């Protein structure tokens, strides 16, 4: 299996288009056509992790945090990032990162945290924007059904728990085939009027190419006329953070203790408990306090996240309890997401979890 094939498995789960604007997920170091001998999974890429990969014979590292985040202007070995990049190149190790796209995908970082806490009825806290488009095409009436079925089979037309959603209007299309054409109906060089269906449906942008390919394949016309309109609607199947419910309410302090234990957090910082019992829980792995408005709007009793600053704890304002469980602690199970995904699809070489403790923060 080649590097680009491993990347395809990862991106089939967490599309790169789901990443935030500031992010740098994807293949960062290495050649896509290089043969993979083993994969090492980690949260961060450090020289120690690269040394571990070399020792294990793994020539691809899959990390949560991108090793190269900002532009690198020189590689002189000054600083951890430069040293790590140089070491990876020297040892022919490919480095791939799946960061905010794995945060945003259903089943990603925050979902995994929610599962660890036993949450049910989880939904995305801040749905992705700009990921839905309206696809419109014009089909001869007799072919409308076959084209509809093809685009639905490719994933179009899903709204909430409904599938096969479309709108169809009868009308007529006009066209005249020029030199080199072979019209499906009508005659070359003559204006033709054909009864057609204007077929419109909704498509997530990350599968648009697949849907358009299926549409063109099923459509009888030589030149398929279609439009793609961007939509302002939120895409509720993906986005940052989750909110869900505990099966039973738990008093505040025992809940905080449960979180501390679940994430092996040596220190949980929390704002004043506001509710006697906790049942509705909002979560965002990593630095997630910017999602506090969404956590409040979701009627959550608590918001579990990391990297909360002193003044941001005041923003809880007796409306919610903010828990800061530590950045690494909150994201540690991301390695399991990668492992579950890759080990199921790869059998001819090892997929290994790094044993290096990359958390740069110590507690005393
Ligand atoms: Zn992070």
Residue 336 Cα, ligand 1 centroid: separation in angstroms?
15
User: Count of CB atoms within 10 A of residue 48's CB?
Assistant: 16
Closest CA to 132 of 203, 223, 191, 182: 203
**Residue 269 in contact with residue 324, Cβ under 8 Å?**
yes
Per-residue model confidence (pLDDT) at position 178? 93
**Where do the DSSP E strands lie in 176-314?**
192-204, 226-230, 235-251, 269-270, 277-287, 302-306
Residue 155 Cα, ligand 1 centroid: separation in angstroms?
31
Burial of 183-222, coded b for 16+ CB within 10 Å and e otherwise, reads beebeeeeebebebbbbbbbbbbbbbeebbebbeebbebe
Per-residue model confidence (pLDDT) at position 264? 96
Q: How confident is the model at residue 260 (pLDDT cuts 50, 70, 90)?
A: very high
Residue 124 Cα, ligand 1 centroid: separation in angstroms?
18
Report how far residue 79's alpha carbon sits from residue 60's, in angstroms, rounded to the nearest whole number: 22
How many residues appear in the chain?
364
Residue 105 Cα, ligand 1 centroid: separation in angstroms?
15
pLDDT at 347 over 90: no
pLDDT at 349 over 90: no
The DSSP call for residue 68 is: -
For the residues of 304-356, what is the DSSP string, one character each? Answer: EEE---HHHHHTTTTTSEEEE--HHHHHTTHHHHHHHHHHHH--SSEEEE---
CATH annotation of 3-99+333-353: 3.40.1390.30
Per-residue model confidence (pLDDT) at position 352? 96
pLDDT (tens digit, 9 = 90+) per residue, 77-104? 999 999 999 999 999 999 999 999 999 9
Residue 329 Cα, ligand 1 centroid: separation in angstroms?
10
pLDDT (tens digit, 9 = 90+) per residue, 182-204? 999 999 999 999 999 999 999 99
Residue 9 Cα, ligand 1 centroid: separation in angstroms?
21
pLDDT (tens digit, 9 = 90+) per residue, 18-29? 999 999 999 999
User: Count of CB atoms within 10 A of residue 97's CB?
Assistant: 27
Q: Is the dihedral of CA 89, 90, 92, 95 positive or negative?
A: negative
Question: CA separation (Å) from 333 to 57, 152, 340?
Answer: 24, 34, 11
Residue 286 Cα, ligand 1 centroid: separation in angstroms?
4
pLDDT (tens digit, 9 = 90+) per residue, 125-179? 999 998 999 999 999 999 999 999 999 999 999 998 899 999 999 999 999 999 9
* Span 35-40, average pLDDT: 96
* Span 115-128, average pLDDT: 96
CATH annotation of 106-128+238-325: 3.40.1390.30
**Residue 36 in contact with residue 60, Cβ under 8 Å?**
yes
Per-residue model confidence (pLDDT) at position 348? 84
Q: Which residues partner with 133 through β-bridges?
A: 203, 230
* Span 262-291, average pLDDT: 96
Rounded to a whole number of angstroms, the CA Rg of the chain reads 25
Question: Against a cut of 0.85, is the pTM above it?
Answer: yes
Closest CA to 19 of 32, 29, 28, 30: 28
Find the helix packing angle between 80-90 and 47-56, rounded to 10°. Answer: 20
pLDDT (tens digit, 9 = 90+) per residue, 314-329? 999 999 999 999 999 9
| Mean of per-residue pLDDT scores for the chain | 96
Q: How confident is the model at residue 311 (pLDDT cuts 50, 70, 90)?
A: very high
Report how far residue 213's alpha carbon sits from residue 219's, in angstroms, rounded to the nearest whole number: 10
Residue 137 Cα, ligand 1 centroid: separation in angstroms?
42
Is 106-128+238-325 in the same CATH topology as 3-99+333-353?
yes
Residue range 132-233 forms a domain whose CATH class is alpha beta
Q: How confident is the model at residue 63 (pLDDT cuts 50, 70, 90)?
A: very high
Closest CA to 238 of 88, 78, 129, 329: 129
pLDDT at 33 over 90: yes
Residue 328 Cα, ligand 1 centroid: separation in angstroms?
7
> In the chain, where are the structural domains located?
3-99+333-353, 106-128+238-325, 132-233
Per-residue model confidence (pLDDT) at position 71? 86
| Alpha carbons within 13 A on the beta-carbon side of 63 | 28
């Amino acid at each position: 299996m080649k590097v680009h094939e491993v990347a395809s498995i990862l991106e089939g789960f967490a599309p790169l288009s789901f990443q935030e604007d500031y992010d740098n997920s994807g293949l960062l170091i290495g050649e896509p056509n290089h043969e993979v001998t083993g994969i090492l999974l980690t949260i961060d890429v450090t020289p120690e992790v690269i040394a571990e990969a070399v020792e294990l014979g793994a020539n691809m590292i899959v990390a949560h945090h991108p090793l190269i985040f900002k532009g690198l202007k020189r590689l002189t070995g000054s600083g951890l990032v430069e040293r790590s990049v140089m070491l990876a190149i020297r040892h022919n190790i490919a480095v791939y990162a799946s960061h905010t796209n794995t945060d945003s995908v259903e089943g990603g970082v925050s979902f995994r945290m929610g599962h660890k806490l036993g949450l049910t009825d989880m939904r995305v806290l801040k749905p992705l924007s700009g990921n839905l488009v309206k696809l419109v095409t014009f089909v001869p009436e007799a072919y409308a059904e076959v084209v509809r079925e093809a685009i639905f089979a490719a994933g179009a037309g899903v709204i909430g728990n409904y599938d096969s959603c479309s709108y169809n209007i009868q009308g007529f299309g006009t066209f005249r085939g020029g030199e080199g054409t072979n019209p499906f109906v009508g005659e070359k060089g003559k204006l033709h009027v054909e009864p057609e269906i204007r077929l419109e449906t909704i498509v997530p942008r990350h599968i648009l190419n697949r849907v358009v390919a299926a549409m063109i394949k099923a459509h009888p016309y030589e030149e398929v006329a279609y439009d793609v309109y961007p939509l302002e609607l939120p895409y509720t199947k993906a986005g940052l953070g989750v909110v869900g419910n505990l099966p039973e309410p738990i008093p505040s302090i025992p809940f905080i203790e449960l979180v501390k234990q679940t994430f092996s957090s040596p220190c949980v910082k929390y704002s004043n408990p506001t509710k006697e019992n906790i049942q509705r829980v909002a979560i965002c792995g990593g630095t997630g306090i910017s999602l506090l408005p969404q956590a409040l709007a979701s009627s959550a009793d608590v918001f579990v996240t990391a990297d909360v600053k002193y003044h941001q704890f005041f923003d809880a304002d007796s409306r919610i309890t903010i828990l800061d469980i530590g950045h690494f602690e909150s994201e540690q199970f991301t390695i399991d997401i990668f492992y579950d995904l890759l080990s199921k699809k790869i059998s001819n070489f090892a997929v290994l979890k790094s044993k290096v403790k990359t958390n740069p923060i110590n507690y005393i």
